[in-house]
Structure 1
């Protein structure tokens, strides 16, 4: 199969999918202004002849054909490094296709339980790879009353569940929330949101279906209105992507597309595997964003004539520390990679969880330093239209000047980027995403507690204390 062009990507979305935005049904998202920016972002990833990025986007499959590198299963440390470099230059609408890495990471465990499911995963993965399709990570259920399990809810549909098993497939009902780019891709790859118990077999379900499958409906929301301009909103005007509430209204899924249907012992493995790859993506974005914060902080400091001010230098040092800790954490996780039985190389699980926790737990505190350096102008800066108006613009040029080497329009653009990234459209989205994407802080703490080599730490602590017995052994001896 051939790689798609941007035009073919647009054409592939004209398939009758049911999607809503702001109370309106949108029969063709390629003709909607609301989808203009997100579709252009993803379409850019289909530009395989790009002289700078084309080599990162393409790779050779085992049969010699070309495919997007988002589908390359890392087999070496170099493969993993190249994947990370590619993701640095890839839209989130393409990056979410990394869900196939999560499935393939679990395929050995799944094959041991049900070979049919493993075959289905490999077949759907190759189908999407060979047809240059994109898949969404469809994982988070509404959950209802969080104190109760899936099967204990007042409404049993608070978690996606199997409502009927047939000879030719299953019927599912429920919803998934916060699904990035759901309306803009081709396949909805559904995963369990967490581990399930034996009395929750109907909720241990995983599958992949086309977005236009009968019974699928998507309700969209975005942090950025379509009409934002690039001067006032330098991030949001180019990088918005809708989040979808995906409804499964008694959707039929053929058995050949089912990855899990009641095998509760596999539910947590799938959820944890997806968590690893989602958190890896979050750390990659954190490295990029933190470096940008340092650059913006340095620029506003220089524009204010405060480059030698010790308080400003202290704040910038805090931002540098944050950026370097994230960069080193990602580097560690890649260098100390792990390998599945089938040969997939993936980032160090403990390292990625620790890095994602550090990123999320310190994000809001770090933004504080950037806001403190920038001052109130981050929020009160006049709009581009005021700058371009000859009558008002002359006052903006006069009173926003700082020194002869600083161009006022450049200064405005820097401040607009800070506001958009941290205090407005994109910034509001990022404040929540930094905490919640890939699971909130408790999810990372849980994984760190599970993965840390605790027995080694215990033994070293005992040795350092000069103890010859473990605590339990000491009590037994006393008895």
Structure 2
């Protein structure tokens, strides 16, 4: 029976010209449209894992490299829907990337068995990746705030206390992410050898944990503001049809004096976020750039407890000095 570890990318042979690797990497974002595929280890390694301690970069058309892509259902659906903006103009694809005895020349190899370096490399990359996550998710949250506020106004409910709480909860979500990104930048660590700035791991992972755990709550608040039309809104094609359009413009007006087309386009965007693109956004916001557990592990491992423990000893009377 095949061992699970045999599925992981590993070195199966070495020669004077390079290495040969076999295995797979999952969730390769934009891999199918990239020119180069970059590989790093997944975690800390021991000496017995040295064959898995591999990092390199190769052209996407390298012999033996296979990329099996996810379908772009959302963008396909957008082709005949002029209101389907995000799925049409912001496409993203991922692949299961398979290395079927791929040859990598030495000049393209960064790590080949140096297991002591696998952990630092595996930790440093997600720190940058999670920093980008809290940065772009701040912008995503800003979109949710604007969408929620406009719908509240057009629905005529922006003066209701529960609607205000919904919008404030999204504001809180966004601003915690923004503050984390600012703090991670301002209190970054400088690598002594390269002088490269590394985002502060604690603030980065705190922000990422909030981003992962809070996204579905933010969507829940947006849905509460939008109302049922976020799911039941007729097609944009119905607004084009003259016979149907006159009824839709009459009955979907929302607050008196508002433009029903504008309101309906905003509701269409809401539906796009929670349905057609919902699987991508929901899964990405919980797992992309590292799962919830990954941030928990890194925070627990990296946090400096000494000052906190000294304070506890002092407060309990065990020590008389901090």
Q: What is the TM-score of this pair, normalised by structure 1?
A: 0.64
Indicate whether 1:226 and 2:76 are aligned. yes
1:469 Cα deviation (Å)? 8.1
- CA distance in 2: counterparts of 1:417 and 1:467, whole angstroms: 59
- The count of residues paired between Structure 1 and Structure 2 equals 318
Pair 1:306–1:156, CA change in 2 (3 A): closer
Q: Which residue of 1 aligns with 2:60?
A: 211
2:102 is aligned, of 251, 254, 262, to 251
Q: Which residue of 2 aligns with 1:160?
A: 9
- CA distance in 1: counterparts of 2:227 and 2:36, whole angstroms: 45
1:155 Cα deviation (Å)? 5.6
Pair 1:361–1:228, CA change in 2 (3 A): same
Q: Which residue of 2 aligns with 1:33?
A: none
Indicate whether 1:279 and 2:130 are aligned. yes
Poorly superposed stretches of 4+, deviation over 4 Å: none
1:404 Cα deviation (Å)? 4.1
1:225 Cα deviation (Å)? 3.4
Preserved contact between residue 336 and residue 347 of structure 1 (Cα < 8 Å)? yes
RCO higher in structure (CA 8 A, sep ≥6):
2
Q: Which residue of 1 aligns with 2:173?
A: 322
Alignment root-mean-square deviation, CA: 1.7
Q: Which residue of 2 aligns with 1:456?
A: 307
Pair 1:156–1:323, CA change in 2 (3 A): closer
Preserved contact between residue 131 and residue 199 of structure 2 (Cα < 8 Å)? yes
- CA distance in 2: counterparts of 1:469 and 1:404, whole angstroms: 69
Cα deviation, 1:137-170, whole Å, max 9, x if unaligned, reads: xxxxxxxxxxxxxxx9526531001111111101
- CA distance in 2: counterparts of 1:276 and 1:205, whole angstroms: 19
Matches within 5 A, 1:88-167: 154=3, 157-167=6-16
- Report the 3-state secondary structure (helix = DSSP H, G, I; strand = E; otherwise coil) of the residue aligned with 2:264: helix
Preserved contact between residue 223 and residue 428 of structure 1 (Cα < 8 Å)? no
- Report the 3-state secondary structure (helix = DSSP H, G, I; strand = E; otherwise coil) of the residue aligned with 1:206: strand
Q: What is the TM-score of this pair, normalised by structure 2?
A: 0.94
1:465 Cα deviation (Å)? 2.2
Indicate whether 1:365 and 2:217 are aligned. yes
Pair 1:463–1:156, CA change in 2 (3 A): closer
Indicate whether 1:240 and 2:91 are aligned. yes
Preserved contact between residue 240 and residue 426 of structure 1 (Cα < 8 Å)? no
Q: Which residue of 1 aligns with 2:113?
A: 262
- CA distance in 2: counterparts of 1:195 and 1:227, whole angstroms: 42
Specify every segment of 5 or more residues in structure 2 that has no aligned partner in the other structure, as ranges: none
1:295 is aligned, of 118, 138, 146, to 146
Q: Which residue of 2 aligns with 1:406?
A: 258
- CA distance in 2: counterparts of 1:155 and 1:253, whole angstroms: 24
- CA distance in 1: counterparts of 2:288 and 2:236, whole angstroms: 33
2:272 is aligned, of 409, 420, 428, to 420
- CA distance in 1: counterparts of 2:272 and 2:313, whole angstroms: 51
